[in-house]
C-alpha cells in the first residue's frame, strides 16, 4: 500500500433525502477511516439496473487504478440473488449479482468473481432489505483496508450479464440504434459509436436523415452545441464517446417526446 | 487524540441547490482542515423537526464513537430558542434546542447539555437567520479540534423533548401504530417494533389484518420484498428495525394514499 | 505548501443524477489524491450564469485562503469562449470566460487572468461538450499540486463581466431594487444593502412601504423571522447581508408570485 488513501465510490437508487446513503458511509468510515468516499449518483431510477449500469460504466473509467466501486440497484435484495465482488485489472466492484456490475467490470477485464459470504467481512446483523449497508459497504471497506477479495467467499464461474440492444448497420445504408440514456439537460444518448457512423460515410459537418420519435429530421453532425442556432437540433458525439441527439440551449427529450429504449434510425444524405 | 480524522455529519432542511450547506462546510474546514464531513441529509421537509429527528436517529447509530453531529431544522432561528451541544456516551450533537437532537442523543445516554454562548467558538458576526453556519458549524469544528463542550457555555438542566405517539397494544388483540416516515421508495415506516408484534403472536410468514388508509388488507410478514409477487403489498421489518408496509417493486405511499402521521391498525388472523 | 490539504470546490448546472460531477471528481483525485473536494451546488438552473454567479459569490467568502474554485455553467462549451483561470488575493477560480467567475473573483481583488491552453495540464482527449471534466477539473487539480496558474497559458488583459442592475435611491425617497435570487425556502433576496436602507432612514423595527409583484405591502424590518406571526411577510437582512422579503414559516416567492429579475420598490413610512 502506498500513501494514497483508498477511494470508494457509491452508486444507488436511494436518492439523497433518506438516511440510507449516510448509513453506508458511516459503516465504511467506521471500518476504514482513511477512505475517500465519492458519490457517483444516487439518482438512478428505482430498480433501473440498466440506467445504473450506464452511469457506472461512464464514470468508473475516470477513477484511478485501485478504486473500489460499490453499486446498489437491487430489486432482488433478500432473495436468492448473490452479493458479489468482481476483481478487474483496474478496480474492484461490489454489489448484487443482477447485471449491474458486469458491463463496467467487463470493459476493464475481469480477473475473478467471488460471492460475499464470509461473516467476518459483513455486519453482524444483516437486514433483509439493506445489503448496501450491511454487506456491500462493509465488504468494500475491508477491501480498502487491504483484505484480498478472495477472502470474502467462494469464487464463482458465472454471473448475470445485462442485455443491451446493439446498433445494427443494415446493408451499409442505415443504422438502427437505441436511446440508452437521457441526461438532465435532455440530451439523448444513443448506442451509436463513431466507427459505425464512419461506416455510413457520415463525417463531422455532414447532414444525416434521422428518424426519431415518429419524426424524420435532417440533422448536422456538429462539433459543439453552439454550431447551430439556439433551439435547433443537432447530432454530436457527447462526452461518453457516443452519438447524441441534442438541441442547442434546449431539451431534446421533451421537444422530440422521446424516452429511453426508443429507436433511432440514421441514414446519410447523398448529394442529388 | 489518535490518528483518526474527526467526523462531522450534517443534517438540515436546506436542500442542495442553495449555497447554505457549502457555507457550513467552508466554516468547518477553515477551523478544522482535517475534518471528514459527511452529509446525512439535506432533504428534510422545511421546518419538519420530526422528520429530521427520525433520519438523524436512524443514521447516527452507524457512525463511529466520537462523531460530531450538526443538525439544523430550525424554524425558530433568531428567536429565544437556545443553541445547544449535547454530549452523550458515544457522540456530540450540535443544533437548536427544539427537540431535533433529543431522541438520538437520548438513545446514546446523555451526559451533559450546554448552551452555546462563548463568543470565542462562534463566528464574529452572527446573522439572525443562519445559525447553522455562524454558530453550529463553527462550534462543531472547534469541538473537532479538541475543545471540550463544557467550554462552549453554561450547563443546562433541561431541554426540549419531541413528542411521538407510541404504538399501543389494546387488550393483547390489536396494535394501533402510526406512520412515522415515508422513504423515497414509498415504503411506510411505522413505529411498531418486533417485540410488539410478538405480543400479538404474529411471526414471520404469518398473515395479519392491517387497516391503513381507509382500507383493510390481509398482509404477510415477509423476510424479503421478493417474497410476494411484484406489485403486491407486504409487511416487513425494514433496515431501521421497525415494521414497514411496502409494495414489492411498487410505491406503497402512493398506492395506499397514506401520509406521515396516519394510523395503522394491526390484528392477527386466527385460523377459523 | 503547509500540511493543510488543498480544497477544490465545484459548482455547476449538472444536477446530481448524471455521472458528470463524479467524472470531475475522478479526474481531480487521479491527479491530486490529497485534494478535499466540496460541492458548492450542482443545482444551478441550466445555463443560468447569473444564478451561478450569485451562489458562487455567497459561498466562496467562507472558504479559507488558497481554495481553488471550479465553476461550470457553460452554454458556450466547444465554441470560441475561452477556458480561464483567475488568480485573486485569496483564491483561484477556474471556469469558462462567460461572466460566471468575474463577480466573486473581482470582490477578492484580481491579480492575473490566464487562458488555459497548455496541453500538459488538460486531459489528452478534450471532448467538445464537457470542458468541466477535460479542462477545468484537470487544470484545478494541477494547481492544487502546486503548478502556478501562469504556467497554464498566456495572460489575458480582458475578460467577460456580468451585468447586474444596481439598486438606486431616487431623490432620497425610495429605492428601486431587484430580486436577484430566490432560495429553496422561497425567500426573495434583493440587491439592497444595509447602507442603502440607512440612507432612507429605515432602521430595525421600522415599517416600510414595499411595492412587489403588483402589490403594495407595509412590512417591518425584523431581526428574526419569528418577530412576526407565522404566515406574515417581513423584511430582513439575510445571511448574505442583503435585504430579503420573507414570510415567517411560509414561501414568499409563491405567495407573492414573484420571480428573479422582478422589481422591488421601498419607501419609508413617515409618522403622520
Nearest to B142 by CA among B29, B10, B4: B29
pLDDT digits (tens, 9 = 90+) for C174-218: 899 999 899 989 999 998 988 888 888 888 999 999 999 889 999
Residue B85 scores a pLDDT above 70: yes
Q: Are C253 and C188 spatial neighbours (Cβ–Cβ below 8 Å)? A: yes
Contact call for residues C202 and C261 (beta carbons, < 8 A): no
B253 and B172 within one domain: yes
Q: Are residues A204 and A133 in the same domain?
A: no
Residue A85 belongs to domain spanning:
7-152
Residue B165 has pLDDT above 80, yes or no: no
Phi/psi for B195 (5° steps) reads -65, -35
Cβ of A129 and B62 within 8 Å?
no
Chain centroid to Cα A218, Å, comes to 30
Chain C: nearest CA to A226, how far in angstroms? 6
Write down the pLDDT at residue A164. 63
Mean model confidence pLDDT for chain B: 92
Window 169-208 of A: residues touching C by CB (8 A cutoff) are 183-185
Q: Find the residue in C nearest to A65 (Cα).
A: C30
Instruction: Say whether residue B237 is in contact with chain A using an 8 A CB cutoff.
Output: yes
Give yes or no for residue C272 having a pLDDT over 50. no
Q: What is the pLDDT of residue A1?
A: 45
> Please, are residues C228 and C159 in contact by the beta-carbon 8 Å criterion?
no
Residues C125 and C20 placed together within one structural domain of the fold: yes
The Cα–Cα gap between C198 and C266 comes to: 12
Mean pLDDT of chain A: 92
Measured distance CA(A135)–CA(A126) in Å, rounded: 7
- Sequential pLDDT tens for chain A (272 residues): 457 999 999 999 999 999 999 999 999 999 999 999 999 999 998 899 988 999 999 999 999 999 999 999 998 888 889 999 999 999 999 999 999 999 899 989 999 999 999 999 999 988 888 999 999 999 999 999 999 999 999 999 988 887 665 677 777 788 999 998 999 899 999 989 888 888 888 889 999 999 998 899 999 999 999 899 999 999 999 888 889 999 999 999 999 999 998 999 999 886 54
Contact partners for chain B, using 3 or more CB pairs closer than 8 A, are A, C
Q: To the nearest 10°, report the CA torsion of A138, A140, A145, A147.
A: 100
Q: Looking at CA atoms only, how far is residue A32 from chain B in angstroms?
A: 10
In a shared domain, residues C52 and C175? no
CA B12 → CA A34, B37, B162, distances in Å? 25, 14, 17
**The domain spanning residue A249 has which CATH number?**
2.40.30.90
Residue C163: the pLDDT is: 65
Q: Domain for residue B159, yes or no?
A: no
Size of interface A-B (CB pairs under 8 A): 93
Residues C245 and C175 in one domain: yes
CA distance B69 to chain C (A): 18
Same domain, B118 and B203: no
Encode pLDDT of B148-163 as tens digits: 999 999 999 988 887 6
Do both B125 and B219 map to the same domain? no
Torsion angles phi and psi, residue B155, rounded to 5: -70, 145
Q: Is the pLDDT of residue B272 over 90?
A: no
Burial of B162 (0-12, 13-18, 19+ CB in 10 A): middle
Q: Is A226 on the interface with C (CB under 8 A)?
A: yes
- The helix (run of H) or strand (run of E) holding residue C38 is strand C36-41
Give the pLDDT band (50/70/90) at residue B64. Answer: very high
Residues of B in contact with C238 (CB under 8 A): 127, 129-130
What was the pLDDT predicted at A29?
98
CA distance A232 to A212: 15
CATH number at residue A118: 3.40.50.10790
Locate the chain C residue with the closest alpha carbon to A250.
Answer: C46
The answer on pLDDT for C1 being more than 70 is: no
Q: Nearest-CA distance from B126 to chain C in Å?
A: 9
Q: Confirm if B164 and B192 have CB atoms less than 8 A apart.
A: no
Q: Are residues B37 and B129 in the same domain?
A: yes
Question: B109: exposed, middle or buried (C-beta count within 10 Å: 0-12, 13-18, 19+)?
Answer: exposed
- Chains that contact A by 3+ CB pairs under 8 Å? B, C
pLDDT for the residue numbered C147:
98
Size of interface A-C (CB pairs under 8 A): 93
Over the stretch B118-142, which tens digit does the pLDDT of each residue have?
Answer: 999 999 988 888 999 999 999 999 9
pLDDT in tens, C59-106: 999 999 999 999 999 988 888 899 999 999 999 999 999 999 998 999
B18 vs C contacts (CB less than 8 Å): 41, 43, 55, 183-184
Of residues C121, C122, C85, C117, the one with CA closest to residue C100:
C85
Q: Quote the minimal CA–CA distance from A137 to chain B in Å.
A: 12
pLDDT at position A76, please? 85
Per-residue pLDDT, B150: 97
Residue B160 included in any domain: no
Domain count, chain C: 2
Query: Are residue A98 and residue A211 in the same domain, yes or no?
Result: no
Q: Which residues of B touch A26 (CB under 8 A)?
A: 38, 59, 62-64
Contact residues, chain B, for C224 at CB < 8 Å: 77-79, 128-129
Question: Are the Cβ atoms of A239 and C79 closer than 8 angstroms?
Answer: no
Q: For the segment C153-169, what is each residue's pLDDT rounded down to a tens digit?
A: 999 998 888 766 567 77
Amino acid at each position: 500500500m502506498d500513501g494514497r488513501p483508498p477511494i470508494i465510490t457509491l452508486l444507488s437508487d436511494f436518492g439523497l433525502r433518506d438516511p440510507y446513503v449516510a448509513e453506508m458511509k458511516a459503516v465504511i468510515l467506521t471500518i476504514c477511516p482513511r477512505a475517500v468516499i465519492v458519490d457517483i449518483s444516487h439518482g438512478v431510477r428505482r430498480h433501473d439496473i440498466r440506467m445504473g449500469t450506464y452511469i457506472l460504466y461512464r464514470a468508473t473509467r475516470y477513477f484511478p487504478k485501485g478504486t473500489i466501486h460499490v453499486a446498489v440497484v437491487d430489486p432482488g435484495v433478500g432473495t436468492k440473488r448473490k452479493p458479489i465482488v468482481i476483481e478487474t485489472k483496474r478496480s474492484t466492484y461490489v454489489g448484487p449479482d443482477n447485471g449491474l456490475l458486469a458491463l463496467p467490470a467487463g470493459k476493464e477485464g475481469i480477473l475473478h468473481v467471488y460471492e460475499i459470504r464470509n461473516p467476518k467481512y459483513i455486519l453482524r446483523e444483516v437486514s433483509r432489505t439493506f445489503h448496501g449497508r450491511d454487506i456491500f459497504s462493509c465488504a468494500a471497506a475491508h477491501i480498502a483496508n487491504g483484505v484480498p477479495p478472495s477472502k470474502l467467499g467462494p469464487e464463482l464461474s458465472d454471473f448475470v450479464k445485462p442485455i443491451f440492444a446493439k446498433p445494427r448497420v443494415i446493408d451499409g445504408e442505415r443504422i438502427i440504434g437505441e436511446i440508452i440514456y437521457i441526461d438532465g439537460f435532455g440530451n439523448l444518448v444513443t448506442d451509436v459509436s463513431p466507427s459505425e457512423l464512419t461506416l455510413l460515410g457520415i463525417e463531422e459537418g455532414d447532414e444525416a436523415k434521422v428518424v426519431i420519435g415518429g419524426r424524420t429530421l435532417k440533422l448536422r453532425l456538429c462539433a459543439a452545441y453552439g454550431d447551430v442556432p439556439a433551439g435547433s437540433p443537432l447530432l454530436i458525439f457527447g462526452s461518453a464517446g457516443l452519438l447524441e441527439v441534442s438541441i442547442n440551449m434546449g431539451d431534446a427529450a421533451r421537444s422530440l417526446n422521446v424516452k429511453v429504449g426508443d429507436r433511432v434510425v440514421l441514414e446519410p444524405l447523398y448529394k442529388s
